[in-house]
Amino acid sequence: MPLNKKAQLKVITDSIINILSDTKEVFNYCRYFYQPNNIEERDYANSNFSIEIIRFTLWKQTIIEIAKLFSNKSTDKFRISKYINNLKPDGYYGDLKFPVKKIKEYEQQIHSLSSVISDILTIRDKLYAHTEKIFENIDSDTRVTYNIIITFNQIQSLINILNDIIVDVFFIIFESDLDLTVPSETNKINILTSLVRLRKIETEDLIDYLNKGK
């Protein structure tokens, strides 16, 4: 028996939630490695080639994941524009009576970040097509990739919009609260803290060893 429309929407929404959760996890770790807890950790990260590779890999994955949701390609079946259009009165899920006012608010918010979304999609296409790392850092918030500037705050704004849409759909259509918190938001990320501590221990051990040899 085919699923009714409400059940179909739930399946699609769950898929979007999975992509959003993946986006948030890689983004939170990416931001952490670019914006460590203190100066000591920042200096360690900035001087460690392995951390630099991890940073870029997480940034690349952040762009790829969030682009899936803000894509304008028909091949990206879970793009948020299609999802919103289907919620409209004349859309596939129109008979579920999702408030038109809410839809207009989402579209206005997305439109206000249209240039950022366009830049993300451009970078995504380049990252798919090429493997070379063409990027630089202006400061702890700003990434420059292929001469395109995107900040962590802009990425966070897009994530916030997605959060709001999905939470509203759950509350209004599925009549249920939804917690979209991911582990990286509730558990402190302290990888660099551990690495800095380890380096201190190794340095102290080396000094002790050299002193004993005198």
- List the chain domain ranges: 5-212
66 pLDDT more than 70: yes
> What is the model's pLDDT at position 186?
83
> What is the model's pLDDT at position 89?
96
> What is the model's pLDDT at position 100?
97
> What is the model's pLDDT at position 202?
57
pLDDT digits (tens, 9 = 90+) for 82-93: 999 999 999 999
Mean pLDDT score, 111-136: 80
Q: How many CA atoms are closer than 13 Å to the CA of 59, on its beta-carbon side? A: 28
> What is the model's pLDDT at position 143?
82
CA angle 31, 54, 119 (to 5 degrees): 55
Q: How many CA atoms are closer than 13 Å to the CA of 45, on its beta-carbon side? A: 22
> What is the model's pLDDT at position 135?
57
**What backbone torsions phi and psi does residue 143 show, to the nearest 5 degrees?**
-115, 140
pLDDT digits (tens, 9 = 90+) for 157-213: 999 999 999 999 999 999 999 999 999 988 888 888 888 887 666 554 444 444 565
The answer for residues whose C-beta is within 8 angstroms of residue 108's C-beta and 6 or more apart is none
95 pLDDT more than 70: yes
39 pLDDT more than 70: yes
**Average pLDDT value over all residues in the chain:** 87
147 pLDDT more than 70: yes
Task: Tell me the helix, strand and coil percentages in the chain, rounded to 5.
Answer: 70, 5, 25
Quickly tell me which residue has 């038109």 as its tokens: 100
Identify residue 119 by its one-letter amino acid code.
Answer: D
> What is the model's pLDDT at position 1?
37
